[in-house]
């Protein structure tokens, strides 16, 4: 919430009464100014153990120099008040400036990481980046230059993006959000969206009451987040879906403080018991085997 306790409303977050049950994409109105355009990409929420990971893009005409005067920067270096002001700036020049976010839900993050084969966080991040760029292009925006905050080995990622978007000049750099203003704008879109999604999280679990303590940043090292996780844990049912259950931090907490559960296949056990009971009644074939018309079976 804001300092004056007014409810924050932004178009890229669902609001406090709508649970985030799956990943989604939001696009601002499409700019109408003549291109070609430059586009920046950045993310927020890669490392936290709770809440969504959000990828953001921002784009404007290459010849439009006003973006350099707006004060965009690495969102982590700005105060919440500055981020709010700059987020509002994103929508003040709709004819020249556009932005979009991909909100990857904590459920989808964990489900991907636990698949076989796993879809790790880097692969999910790449998919979100490519999806956003393609959707912007599909809206008729001609992109000539692409600036991306680094993800893994820089040369490899740059070659990957260049192969997908031939004819576009691709630049991948560490701390690109502090170097290129258009990436800083994408950082603001992603960070503000994630913050509001977490602050206004709507609990999907019926009857769940969250601990009345600060949730913190969501990073495992944050003392507030540590305290919140300890209080939020149900020893049998685990954590609400705000939490990324594939994170090692979460697994460790559940192992230490949750109740151990032994899973069994009741149907298989019942069938095994039925064969055992029938064994003494017919030495040739079990009654269950006879009913099933099974021949040459050895009873368990």
We report the CATH number of the domain holding residue 163 as 3.30.420.10
pLDDT digits (tens, 9 = 90+) for 149-170: 998 899 999 999 999 999 999 9
17 falls within a domain:
no
Residue 117 and residue 175 in one domain: yes
Last residue of some domain: 178, 200, 222? 200
Assess whether 49 and 164 both reside in one domain. yes
Residue 44 has pLDDT above 50, yes or no: yes
Strands 98-104 and 53-61: antiparallel
183 and 38 within one domain:
yes
Has residue 12 been placed in a domain?
A: no
Alpha-carbon separation of residue 50 from 122, 197, 206, 240 (angstroms): 17, 11, 19, 10
**Within a domain: residue 278?**
yes
70 and 214 in a single domain? The answer is no
Q: Please tell me what DSSP assigns to residue 264.
A: -
Of 297 and 35, which is predicted with more confidence? 35
Asked whether residue 9 is domain-assigned, the answer is no
Angle at 226 between CA 252 and CA 84, to 5 degrees: 130
106 occurs within a structural domain: yes
> Which of these three, 151, 176, 200, is where a domain ends?
200
Which residue range forms the structural domain that includes residue 108? 24-200
Q: Is residue 54 part of a domain?
A: yes
The torsion angles phi and psi of 149, rounded to 5 degrees, stand at -70, 140
Q: Is 34 in the same domain as 74? A: yes
The CA angle 7-9-12, to the nearest 5 degrees, is 145
Q: 169 and 70 in one domain?
A: yes
Same domain assignment for residues 102 and 214: no
Query: How far is the C-alpha of 136 from the C-alpha of 101, rounded, in Å?
Result: 11
Sheet holding 169-173, edge to edge: 24-27, 98-104, 53-61, 37-44, 143-149, 169-173
Domain boundary pick from 200, 219, 253: 200
Q: 15: which 2 tokens? A: 């609001």
Given a cut of 80, whether residue 271 has pLDDT beyond it is no
168 and 263 part of one domain: no
- Smallest CA-to-CA distance from 52 within 108, 115, 114 is with 108
Q: What is the pLDDT of residue 38?
A: 97
- pLDDT > 60? residue 41: yes
Is residue 3 domain-resident?
no
Work out the average pLDDT over 239-258. 89
In this prediction, residue 275 has a pLDDT band, given cuts at 50, 70 and 90, of: low
135 and 225: one domain?
no
On whether both 184 and 244 belong to a single domain, the answer is no
Binding residue positions: 42-43, 149
The predicted model scores a pTM of 0.82
pLDDT level of residue 26 (50, 70, 90 thresholds) = very high
pLDDT per residue as tens digits for the range 73-111 = 777 788 888 899 889 999 889 999 999 999 999 999 999
- Give the pLDDT of residue 74: 77
pLDDT digits (tens, 9 = 90+) for 165-212: 999 999 999 999 989 999 999 999 999 999 999 999 999 888 788 889
Classify residue 233: in a domain, yes or no: yes
Above 50 in pLDDT, residue 300?
no
Which residue's structure tokens are 């109740």?
259
Q: How many domains does the chain have?
A: 2
What are the binding residues for a divalent metal cation?
42-43, 149
Q: Are residues 132 and 275 in the same domain?
A: no
pLDDT at 71: 78
């Amino acid at each position: 919430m804001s300092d004056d306790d007014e409810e924050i409303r932004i178009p890229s977050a669902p609001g406090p009464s709508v649970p985030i049950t799956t990943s989604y994409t939001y696009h601002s109105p499409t700019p109408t100014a003549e291109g070609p355009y430059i586009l920046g990409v950045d993310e927020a929420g890669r490392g936290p153990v709770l809440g969504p990971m959000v990828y953001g893009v921002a784009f404007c005409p290459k010849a439009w120099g006003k973006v350099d005067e707006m004060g965009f920067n690495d969102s982590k270096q700005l105060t919440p008040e500055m981020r709010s002001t700059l987020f509002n700036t994103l929508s003040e020049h709709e004819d020249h400036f556009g932005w979009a976010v991909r909100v990857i839900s904590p459920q989808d993050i964990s489900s991907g990481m636990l698949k076989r084969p796993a879809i790790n966080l880097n692969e999910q991040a790449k998919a979100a980046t490519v999806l956003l760029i393609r959707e912007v292009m599909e809206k008729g925006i001609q992109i000539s230059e692409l600036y991306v905050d680094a993800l893994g080995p820089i040369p490899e990622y740059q070659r990957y993006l260049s192969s997908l978007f031939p004819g576009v000049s691709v630049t991948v750099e560490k701390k690109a959000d502090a170097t290129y203003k258009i990436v800083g704008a994408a950082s603001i879109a992603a960070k503000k969206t994630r913050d509001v999604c977490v602050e206004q999280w709507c609990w999907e679990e019926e009857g769940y009451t969250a601990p009345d303590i600060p949730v913190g940043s969501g990073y495992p090292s944050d003392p507030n987040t540590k305290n919140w996780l300890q209080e939020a844990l149900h020893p049998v049912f685990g954590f609400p879906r705000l939490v990324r259950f594939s994170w090692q931090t979460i697994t460790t907490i559940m192992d230490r403080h949750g109740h151990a559960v032994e899973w069994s296949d009741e149907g298989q056990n019942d069938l095994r018991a039925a064969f055992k009971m029938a064994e003494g009644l017919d030495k040739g074939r079990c009654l269950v085997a006879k009913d099933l018309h099974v021949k040459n079976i050895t009873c368990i």
